């Protein structure tokens, strides 16, 4: 990902370690160098996989993606999660 500064709301694709799997989502929190992401549900369109907590991800497994979900949807999720 080079030296690009990551920020909350950035859309990402996560390369699952020891797998060929990819997960799509967005950054929901950055704290002390830790990056927490929310991933889109494969079962419910427009829904995220977990509500209770973000998932800690290693920076080297994240890649920024071209926005494939409207920014308004991600903003709405971030607002809901941070109530």
Structural domain count, the chain: 1
Residue 66 has a pLDDT of 87
**Tens of pLDDT along 10-25?**
999 999 888 888 999 9
The domain of 27 spans: 11-81
Q: Is the pLDDT of residue 1 over 50?
A: no
Q: Is residue 36 part of a domain?
A: yes
Q: Is residue 74 part of a domain?
A: yes
Q: Is the pLDDT of residue 3 over 80?
A: no
What is the reported pTM? 0.88
Q: Is residue 32 part of a domain?
A: yes
State the Cα–Cα distance between residues 33 and 29, nearest whole angstrom: 10
**Tens of pLDDT along 33-74?**
899 999 999 898 889 999 999 999 999 999 999 888 999 999
Sequence-separated (6 or more) residues with CB below 8 Å from residue 51? 81
């Amino acid at each position: 990902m080079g030296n690009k500064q990551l920020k909350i709301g950035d859309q990402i694709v996560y390369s699952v370690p020891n797998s060929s799997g990819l997960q799509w989502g967005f950054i929901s929190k950055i704290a002390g160098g830790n990056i927490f992401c929310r991933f889109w549900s494969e079962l419910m369109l427009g829904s995220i996989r977990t509500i209770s907590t973000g998932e800690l991800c290693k920076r080297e497994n994240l890649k920024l993606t071209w926005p494939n979900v409207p920014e308004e949807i991600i903003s709405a999720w971030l607002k809901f999660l941070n109530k």
